[in-house]
Structure formats: C-alpha cells, structure tokens
Amino acid sequence: MKNYKINTKCVQGGYTPGNGEPRQIPIVQSTTFKYDTSEDMGKLFDLEAEGYFYTRLQNPTNDFVAAKIAELEGGTAAMLTSSGQAANFFALFNICEAGSHIVASSTIYGGTFNLISVTMAKMGIDVTFISPDCSEEELNAVFQENTRAVFGETIANPALTVLDIEKFAKAAHSHGVPLIIDNTFPTPVNCRPIEWGADIVTHSTTKYMDGHGAAVGGAIVDSGKFDWMKYPDKFPGLCTPDESYHGVTYAERFGKEGAFITKCTTQLMRDLGCIQSPQHAFYLNLGLESLHVRMPRHVENGQAVAEFLEKHPQVSYVNYSGLPSNKYYELAKKYLPNGGCGVVSFELKGGRAAAETFMKNLKLAAIETHVADARTCCLNPATSTHRQMTDQQLQEAGVPAGLIRMSCGLEDKEDLIADLQQALDAIA
C-alpha cells in the first residue's frame, strides 16, 4: 500500500485478504487465542514470535485498522486505544516518568490540558505550557534537563490555533526529545505531521476518523524516525532491559521503527488496559474508508459558513484558518493546503443573551459537546463546558460569553447557512 495515494490507502490500507478470505475486515470477537503447546505460547510471551494471546494487549481487528492509520500518517507502527485521552496519555507516559518534564502548547484540548497539568502532575511529571505563537528563542528557553517530550495539536480544539510543526520539531530535536502531535482535527487527509518532522502522532479517532459519532477511540502512530539509542539516559525505558518483560531492550530488539509501539503495548496496554474493542475498531474502519471523501466536504462547509458569518452584522469575529483575515492563514496555507477541518468559532456581538437566543433557534444544527461528525452541531461554551466561569473570567480565558463553536457536518452548505441566518435573525 505504501506507494499508493492517500485516497487508496483510506479504502484499502491495512488489510489485504488472501484467497477466499473475507473482503471486509473480520471482527475477531474473542478475548483469547488457542495454542497447541506451551512452548508456542512461551515464544509469544518472550516476544520471539508474532501472534496473539489476549485481546487486552492485541487483537487482529485492531491491528488491521492500526496498520491502515500508520499507512495514512506515513508511520512505521501504530496501535489503537480506547479513547483519544488514552492515546495521549500512553504516548507521553511511554517516555515520561516521575521527575520528567513536558513542553506543551498552551492551546491544546481541555481534556489533554487537564491530563497533563493535573493527573500527570500527581505522577510527578512536570509541564511548561507555551503559546503556539512563541518565538524560537522563547520556545528553546522553556526546555529543561529533564524534558522528555514536546506536545502540540496541528489544529487545536477548540482554540483553532495552527501549530508551526517545523518550529516545534526543530526545538524538540535540538534538545534530544521527540515531538508528539495530536492530529485529530485535520486528519492525515489534510496534514501529515510526520512529513514536517513530528516523531509520534496521536488521534482521537472519535472525531473525523470515525466521522459518524458512533465509537469513542484513539490511535498512536510512530514515525520510526526518532533515534532513542542516541539518548539512552533520557529514555531508559526504551534503551535498557525491561525486567518486567524478560529483559528485552526495546530499542535494540525492535529498532527505531518498532520500539515505541512495542513498549507501549507490552507495558502500558498490559498494565493499564485501555484497549479499543474490536467492534469499535470495525466501526472506525468504516469511517476511514470514506475519510478522504468526507474531509473535503467538511472543509467546504466550514469555509462557506465562515465566509457567511464574517459578513454578518451580528457577528463580531470569526475564527477559521481558511479566512484571509485569520492570524493563521499563512501557516494554514503551508501545513493545510487543502483546508483544515469543519470547525468554526465566532462571537456574537450581543454576548450571553444573544448566544442563548441564537442557540435556541437553531433547527438543523444540534446542541452537542461533540465535534467532527457527519451532523452539524453547535456549542456555547459559556452555558455548557465553561459554565462555572463568570463573564469576566470567560473574557480573560479567550472564551467570551457570546462565543459559539460550530462543527460543520456533511449537509448541504446552503441549508446550514439558511439555518444560521434564521437563528441570527431571531436575535435582532
């Protein structure tokens, strides 16, 4: 599949049936796998033979889908997790431990921000958040001797900032650590961070990859490019024997291409068990089969809605990187030449009251905390995800009370605009 275009990889990547085998990926609905001799099984436990023994660690259905995602991102290995949260936690915790430090973009998804700043802090892992718009000097200045990873989102949810991936990759590499990029919003159809220097890519597959709001899931992809053995003191988990796994040294046995995902599977998945169910992996694959067809439509609708809103007198500003007025327009042209995604945010001039009226009058767009599926949805953070904050606090956090986040689905753009028009008319 390697030499095919991304459209072909979306449809046929990851799984090639043999003669007489099922055309569609089989759902291997089995927790366990049978062997003829204890010796056969022993080889699996020693990582000397490839195969399956227990679905908490690996399952063929999941592996077919993970292989497709690896092909889409241009990586060498991948794994599925139960959620995007689990993917980001595993990607970081695979190389961080008590005493480590992470550099992260300050505009990342709230769930990941909380994971790193609260939950991982309790594990003794420290973080410095930095604006994605920082200069190279500012970025280099936040690294510490114990920094083990740099983390950012290609397009941040919901801030919609666009990351200068090359700038972050350069800084990470000059300090001997990998860059981890959460590529949930653009998907590999619109951006492949590995091509710009990212070492590890993560996804909440719950969003566009699934695309139909059907199954929560996550994925981790390794570029196979980071040379762990060059920094054995920084990454002892990969570069020294794992006594909990028969003394295997992952970076030696599996090389740059396989060490990260193998360790993540044999240690973190074994001990924490955030596996995706094979049934969910099957749903995810159905979504992936049309990802390349759906993403351009999400972008087309997002662009049309953003252009309509920008001209509307009730709207004070629109945040969408496809608008020439947007701060990230130039960066987006570089990293997202075919557009970013279908998520647009905008502020209503009338603040909280206007937002309430607007939301109440939407007919096609549903009120949901979700984003990135086939059906358009809207959210007013001030009355939902951020409802504990005062108008003053909201303003300071860059989430003013009149802010609306809209995830443009796959409906006809004229219907979406008409729905917005009538809801905006209701305000005046």
Ligand X SMILES: *Cc1c(COP(=O)(O)O)cnc(C)c1O
Least Å distance, CB 249 to ligand X, is 31
Residue from the set 55, 157, 285, 376 that interacts with ligand X by CB under 6 A: 157
Under the binding rule (CB under 6 A), the answer on residue 204 touching ligand X is yes
Residue from the set 182, 222, 373, 419 that interacts with ligand X by CB under 6 A: 182
Compute CA 239 distance to the chain's CA centroid, rounded to the nearest angstrom: 27
Least Å distance, CB 265 to ligand X, is 19
Under the binding rule (CB under 6 A), the answer on residue 85 touching ligand X is yes
Under the binding rule (CB under 6 A), the answer on residue 242 touching ligand X is no
Question: Which residue, 175 or 207, is less far from ligand X as judged by CB?
Answer: 207
Label residues 266-284 b or e (16+ Cβ within 10 Å = b): bbbbeeeebbbbbebbbbb
Residue from the set 101, 207, 280, 413 that interacts with ligand X by CB under 6 A: 207
Interface region with ligand X, contact rule CB under 6 A, candidates 65-73, 116-124, 201-209, 305-313? 201-209
Question: Which residue, 64 or 90, is less far from ligand X as judged by CB?
Answer: 90
Q: Judge contact between 107 and 161, C-beta under 8 A.
A: yes
Interface region with ligand X, contact rule CB under 6 A, candidates 45-53, 106-114, 188-196, 395-403? 106-114
Residue from the set 55, 62, 94, 112 that interacts with ligand X by CB under 6 A: 112
Interface region with ligand X, contact rule CB under 6 A, candidates 161-169, 204-212, 276-284, 408-416? 204-212
Interface region with ligand X, contact rule CB under 6 A, candidates 25-33, 104-112, 264-272, 378-386? 104-112
Compute CA 367 distance to the chain's CA centroid, rounded to the nearest angstrom: 23
Residue from the set 59, 107, 147, 206 that interacts with ligand X by CB under 6 A: 206
Question: Which residue, 207 or 292, is less far from ligand X as judged by CB?
Answer: 207
Under the binding rule (CB under 6 A), the answer on residue 186 touching ligand X is no
Compute CA 309 distance to the chain's CA centroid, rounded to the nearest angstrom: 27
Residue from the set 14, 74, 75, 84 that interacts with ligand X by CB under 6 A: 84
Under the binding rule (CB under 6 A), the answer on residue 216 touching ligand X is yes
Least Å distance, CB 149 to ligand X, is 16
- Alpha-carbon span 191 to 285, nearest angstrom: 19
Under the binding rule (CB under 6 A), the answer on residue 83 touching ligand X is yes
* Residue 133 φ then ψ, to 5°: -90, 5
Question: Which residue, 88 or 249, is less far from ligand X as judged by CB?
Answer: 88
- Alpha-carbon span 252 to 256, nearest angstrom: 8
Q: How many residues bind ligand X (CB under 6 A)?
A: 16
Residue from the set 59, 62, 161, 184 that interacts with ligand X by CB under 6 A: 184
Under the binding rule (CB under 6 A), the answer on residue 276 touching ligand X is no
* Residue number closest to ligand X, CB atom: 84
Interface region with ligand X, contact rule CB under 6 A, candidates 81-89, 166-174, 275-283, 306-314? 81-89
Residue from the set 12, 35, 106, 111 that interacts with ligand X by CB under 6 A: 111
Least Å distance, CB 368 to ligand X, is 12
Least Å distance, CB 206 to ligand X, is 4
Q: Judge contact between 250 and 263, C-beta under 8 A.
A: yes
Least Å distance, CB 92 to ligand X, is 12
Interface region with ligand X, contact rule CB under 6 A, candidates 24-32, 105-113, 124-132, 190-198? 105-113
Interface region with ligand X, contact rule CB under 6 A, candidates 36-44, 82-90, 140-148, 283-291? 82-90
Question: Which residue, 159 or 354, is less far from ligand X as judged by CB?
Answer: 159
Taking Cα atoms as reference points, which of 364, 359, 348 lies closest to residue 419? 364
Q: Which two tokens stand for residue 233?
A: 């003191």
Give residues in contact with ligand X (CB under 6 A): 83-85, 88, 109, 111-112, 153, 157, 182, 184, 204, 206-207, 216, 218
